[in-house]
Amino acid sequence: MWEQIRANRIRSAFVVTILGVLLVAAGAAAGAAFAGPDAAVAGAVLAIVIWAVLWMTTISAGDKVLLGIAGARELPAGELPQLRNVVEEMTIAAGLDQTPRIYLIDDPSPNAFAAGRKPEQALVAVTTGLLGMLDRDELQGVIAHEIGHIKNRDVALMTTAGIMLGAIVILGETTMRAMWWGGGYRSRSSNRDGNAAALIGVLLLILAPIVAQMLYFSLSRRREYLADASGARFTRYPEGLASALEKIGGVAKPQADQSRVTAPMYIVRPLRQGEKLGVRGSWFATHPPIQERIKILRAMGGGAGYADYERACQRVTGHGMVGAQTLASETAAVPAQAMGLVGVAGGNKAPAGAVQGAPRGKTAVEEQARAAHPPSAPRRLRDASNAFLQASGYSKQTCSQCAAVIKVPPSLKAKLRNCPRCASPL
């Protein structure tokens, strides 16, 4: 199983390289479209500068922003021994050198995520809602999935890919906006060749963010399948994770953290107010549909290895997911446990079919509509500044009358009585 990290590096490097090429091409296209073919090189350099700035911001902010967004606190020593034990057990099963730090999120919505670019800095965060809902075997399945992300280096991969995607989107949006106001090279020039280059540039600028997003999301979904497969293999008990996903999918409350940036690391995609988990897949989804994931785990037919997962995946979805090199690292059959390992209270399994399926067509349409219109640049800026405010301890209050959101600094000790905007009592 240790071989799989190496295999994954090759594939990750490939996707990240394509994203990098797209970024440079988009930069060159921006230059050509805005200032003529001679500016293509300058545009490419600008693209790399944008990427470097984003990269440095992310590295210096580290996990604090992510944890701040989620409102997580580190689990104090001696508290919740079962959670700590489960994390340590899965660390052993995965063969990691170091136990990830454990964070708790006070949120009734059941979810969990992994973070940390290197296994040595890794952490696992779970919501209190998750802990209250799952038995030991199911919790083990969820933690195994998250440890799978850490073992497969998904955090580093998705961060790198996410930064590239961000740079491409910013580049595309800014140039298109600037051309809208200032006019492109084409409208100011009479050079025919230059015109053609500028036109190609504009086309590339429109296409690059879309292609980059599709690459990014398909990569994310692939990593989810692989983390599920790892979860099954580490626990030797696919039913634990399947049953956990079923419970999580059945509840699926909207969650406080809805940032698209952090979504790929959660076990299921965090939901917005009034939204349900989609039944059908989408090209622009970070996660495969939850029902499909459950179906694959339950179709593993008494096996718990990557080969069993790959077969089940073929049967359920018609395509493989695990990757040839990962499969080759498995030299013998890996049978599943007939039952979970000893849990303190025994495994009280959720009855099959307890999931309430979301209304089919509507959700998928909504999901696609939202995916087709990613949040605008000012919206993203506000999301980011909110994240920083929350990371530095600001609390949020919403006025029931005018829906104004008031961000209260931690230094303010007095309680707010009236809305500063419409003066109605809070």
Q: Which residues of the shown chain bind another protein in the complex (CB under 8 A)?
A: 1-3, 81-82, 85-86, 88-90, 92-95, 136, 234, 236, 329, 331-332, 341-346
Tell whether the torsion through CA atoms of 31, 33, 36 and 38 is positive or negative.
positive
Q: Which is nearer to another protein, 185 or 234 (CB)?
A: 234
- Residues in CB range of 72: below 8 A, 6 or more apart: 103, 104, 105, 125
The answer to whether 33 and 179 have CB atoms below 8 angstroms apart is: yes
Q: Which of 3, 79, 88, 146 is catalytic?
A: 146
CB of 79 to another protein, least distance (A): 13
Give the count of beta carbons closer than 10 Å to the beta carbon of residue 257. Answer: 23
Q: Compute how many other C-beta atoms are within 10 angstroms of the C-beta atom of residue 347.
A: 17
In this complex, which beta carbon is closest to another protein, that of residue 77 or of residue 344?
344
CA 190 vs CA 18, 57, 182, 186, 257: distances in Å: 34, 41, 17, 7, 51
Cα→Cα distances 358→48, 226, 319, 364, 392, Å: 43, 25, 24, 9, 37
Could you confirm whether 89 is annotated as catalytic?
Answer: no
Rounded to 5 degrees, what are φ and ψ at 404? -70, 140
Record the tokens describing residue 227, joined without a space.
């983390």
Q: How far is the CB of 56 from another protein (least distance, A)?
A: 34
Q: Least distance (Å) from another protein to the CB of residue 99?
A: 11
Q: Cα separation of 174 and 261, whole Å?
A: 20
* Closest to another protein by CB, 153 or 380: 153
Q: What is the phi-psi region of residue 236: left when phi exceeds 0, alpha when psi lies from -120 to 50, beta otherwise? A: left
CB of 115 to another protein, least distance (A): 23
By beta-carbon proximity to another protein, the closer residue of 81 and 353 is: 81
38 in helix, strand or coil? helix
Q: State which amino acid sits at residue 111.
A: N
CB of 117 to another protein, least distance (A): 22
Q: Which is nearer to another protein, 136 or 247 (CB)?
A: 136
SS3 (DSSP) at 303: strand
CB of 123 to another protein, least distance (A): 20
Task: Pick the closer one to another protein by CB: 53 or 324.
Answer: 324
Q: Which residues are catalytic?
A: 146
